[in-house]
Amino acid sequence: MEPKILATIKEKLSLIPSPEDIIKSSENWGFGEKSKKFIREALEVESLGAMPFSMYDSPPIIESAGEGALVYDIDGKAYIDMMAGFSVNNLGYGRNDILDAIIRQYKKIAQYSEMLTVDRVLLGKKLSEITPGSFPKKVFYEVTGSGANEVAIKLARLYTGKQYIITQYGDYHGRTIGTSAFTHSFSTWAQHYPIPPHDTCVIRIPFPYCYRCPFGKSSHEECGEECFHLVEFMLSSSYYGVCDKSRRTCNIAAFLIEPFQSAAGYIIPPDNWIPKLHKIAKENDILFIVDEIQTGCGRTGKLWAVEHYPNVEPDIILVGKAIAGGLPFSVIVGRREIMDSWGPGAHSTTFAGYMLGVAAALATIEIFEREKPELESARKGEYFLKGLRSLMDRHPIIGEVQGKGLYIGIEFVRNRHTKEPATTETKWMTMRLLQLGMLVKCSGYYRNRFALSPPFTITYEQMDKAIEIFDTVLEEAEKNFSIPKNQ
């Protein structure tokens, strides 16, 4: 018998794609000559652990962007962009106002470690104003979304003197060694788990993914009840081991949650979930931290996703991705007393609050104040959602379409009754869409969802065209994979 250790090594090796397969795939999916040649060079240089090799059997080589939601590869092939670079390019591409702000700052000075600047302080004031919560706030700058999460975790533990953090199964909060314990995607856990010691003091609760209830319920009306019951039970029973109310002891510092699950496939919980979690957090003196790295900046049709729920005021909100018009930048905005609970230099990274990022973020916020692009996201999202939902009548492979603003998730199944995930089909469709000129992100608990997040500049014609292309590809998938039409 093969020793277990060898089997484990083989298991992990099986997660590595073969360069030959990637090259073969680039030949099969309609890439131009330059792309086909370049992929070989890329494979000589880039680690196979890089994200593009997980997103596509063979990734496109992106060169530039154009009107509305168009992106071009090095052969000049146009793609309708359904990703906005993972929700970074919410405001579209090539905005001169953001570019001018960056150039103006670069001409003055690009960066000087983490020193204070007038603009950085101004940005902090603006962010405190535009985030939910009428209490005094302060900011802390970081660079990445993972970095922002790490700061929030450190701060919550320090401020409360408690160590446990509650997060949701299926959440994504980053892939650094610290945040990996809060991220439950396949590639994090399968490749790196266990992640000691960082996943000590992390409590995971189920997320109400209503289409596939973690408790096996099929009624949507009651969605979230079981998940919430577990949280209530955990916090009220001393024997459960987390809190002991009779002795006034609770070791939980914070909830750290994604309001909608993004990396998991754009899954929106039932309306009662976030308000209930917020309420129970308040009742138990637990901080409520929301990670709006992906759902923020207008993506869901409101500036912040938590604004869909009146009276929910997070103690800390994490902002990143689209906040600086495409430059890497993140911010932790929180209650003043929490943000001041540590001493000077308690956390730092060289590029925190860097000057070009500050300039780009200020320009981005000015656009939000002036143009209200989140309303564009809401309007266009409604239109696109309606068009995508209309495809359900013809295509049984669609199990569910969910969306708020231009934040839309589509789940694919082999059978609408059994909900058997259409994993192979979704992978195939991702490549076929690429071939026909559309960039989509395949994700989901079973890698059977598309997470659609086009830039808000997408035109109505481009949305119509996208629906037409989806129609074609769904039809082909149903035929190729023998999905019965009458279900």
Binding site for ligand PLP (CB under 6 A): 86, 144-146, 149, 172-174, 258, 262-263, 291, 293-294, 320
Q: Shortest Cβ distance from residue 77 to ligand PLP (Å)?
A: 26
Alpha-carbon gap, residue 13 to 42, rounded angstroms: 21
Q: Shortest Cβ distance from residue 86 to ligand PLP (Å)?
A: 5
Nearer of residues 153 and 477 to ligand PLP, judged by Cβ: 153
Q: Which residues neighbour 428 within 8 Å (Cβ) at sequence distance 6 or greater?
A: 477, 480, 481
Nearer of residues 293 and 338 to ligand PLP, judged by Cβ: 293
Nearer of residues 144 and 188 to ligand PLP, judged by Cβ: 144
Nearer of residues 95 and 173 to ligand PLP, judged by Cβ: 173
Sign of CA dihedral 218, 224, 225, 230: positive
Query: Percentages helix, strand, coil for the chain, rounded to the nearest 5?
Result: 45, 15, 40
- β-pairing verdict for 249-250 and 243-244: antiparallel
Nearer of residues 146 and 426 to ligand PLP, judged by Cβ: 146
- Neighbouring C-beta atoms of residue 198, cutoff 10 Å: 17
Q: Shortest Cβ distance from residue 419 to ligand PLP (Å)?
A: 25
Structure tokens belonging to residue 204: 């995971």
- Distance from the first to the final alpha carbon of the chain: 45
Nearer of residues 85 and 301 to ligand PLP, judged by Cβ: 85
Cis check: omega of the bond before 194, within 30 degrees of 0 = yes
Question: Nearest CA to 183 among 197, 199, 196?
Answer: 199
Q: Shortest Cβ distance from residue 318 to ligand PLP (Å)?
A: 7
Q: Shortest Cβ distance from residue 360 to ligand PLP (Å)?
A: 15
Question: Nearest CA to 174 among 83, 265, 294, 278?
Answer: 294
Q: Shortest Cβ distance from residue 292 to ligand PLP (Å)?
A: 8
Q: Shortest Cβ distance from residue 258 to ligand PLP (Å)?
A: 5
Nearer of residues 146 and 300 to ligand PLP, judged by Cβ: 146
Q: Shortest Cβ distance from residue 298 to ligand PLP (Å)?
A: 15
Measured from each CB, the residue nearest to ligand PLP is 145
What 3-state DSSP class applies to 85? helix
Q: Which residues neighbour 321 within 8 Å (Cβ) at sequence distance 6 or greater?
A: 86, 87, 88, 90, 145, 293, 294, 296, 297, 330
Query: Residue 312, class by beta-carbon neighbours within 10 Å (0-12 exposed, 13-18 middle, 19+ buried)?
Result: buried
Alpha-carbon gap, residue 363 to 370, rounded angstroms: 10
Inter-residue contact 287 to 160 (CB < 8 Å): yes
Structure tokens belonging to residue 485: 């039409």
Q: Shortest Cβ distance from residue 305 to ligand PLP (Å)?
A: 10
Degrees (nearest 5) of the Cα angle 449, 455, 459?
105
Nearer of residues 259 and 381 to ligand PLP, judged by Cβ: 259
Distance of CA 10 to the CA centre of its chain: 31
330 torsion bin: left (phi>0), alpha (psi -120 to 50), beta (else): beta
Q: Shortest Cβ distance from residue 312 to ligand PLP (Å)?
A: 17
Q: Shortest Cβ distance from residue 78 to ligand PLP (Å)?
A: 25
Inter-residue contact 130 to 303 (CB < 8 Å): yes
Nearer of residues 83 and 431 to ligand PLP, judged by Cβ: 83
Nearer of residues 173 and 449 to ligand PLP, judged by Cβ: 173
Nearer of residues 170 and 421 to ligand PLP, judged by Cβ: 170
